[in-house]
Amino acid sequence: MRILAALFFVVSLSADKSQELDLLRGIAAAPEATMDDVCTIVVIQRGELDKHADAASRCKAINDQKIYRFSAEDIPLLMPATAGAATKAAIHAHGLEETLLFALTGLEWYAVQAAEHLGLVKAKTAHNKKLSGAELLAIFEIALEQAEAKAAWRNPKNPYEVFGVKSYEELNQAYDKMTESGEAPEKKKK
């Protein structure tokens, strides 16, 4: 049930959702996720799937954006997705909080430590643990939720909107208009 919720939550607005859903269903059903799956999830969450039709271009885009750096001899289509690689990509893709040592070194071991702190993975997860597709989707789902909550938290909210006005002055004018005399209304006894 959680996987289906993750599938629908991860899919961003784009023209062809059926292709995205097919890819995500394939990832969710995979007993062992690959780095290609990581690249696919990041591209889908960023809404750029239509720009990157094949797996190689998706992984190249992730490498170019410095979300996850592949070395020259890496083959993302065959590399298993480990907890360290997935958490590193999720933290970088969504701009989540990094620990000091992860920010300084960029090592996957420290990425897992930061991810444990953020609640992306369970405590004491090994950085080299191979992930299933469902586990990989869960990591990216939580990371996306946290990134959206962080973005919403930073937006200033007008405290007077709940009253249907934009400022204290407008609220005061509305109050005066309702009471007509400008005095506080008497409370009704129940």
Q: Provide the greatest CA pair distance for the chain.
A: 80
Distance CA 120, CA 14 (A): 26
Distance CA 61, CA 42 (A): 10
pLDDT by 10s per residue, the chain, length 190: 455 444 444 444 444 688 899 999 999 999 999 999 999 999 999 999 999 989 899 999 999 999 999 988 888 888 999 999 999 999 999 999 999 999 999 999 999 999 999 999 999 999 999 999 999 999 999 999 999 998 888 778 888 888 888 888 888 888 887 777 656 556 556 5
Joined together, the tokens standing for residue 96 give 């989540």
* Contact by Cβ (8 Å): 179, 185: yes
Q: What is the pTM of this model?
A: 0.74
- The domain segmentation of the chain, as residue ranges, is 2-154
Q: What are the backbone dihedrals phi and psi of residue 34, each rounded to the nearest 5 degrees, phi first?
A: -115, 170
Q: Per residue in 2-47, pLDDT tens?
A: 554 444 444 444 446 888 999 999 999 999 999 999 999 999 999 9
Burial degree of 70 (CB within 10 A; 0-12, 13-18, 19+): middle
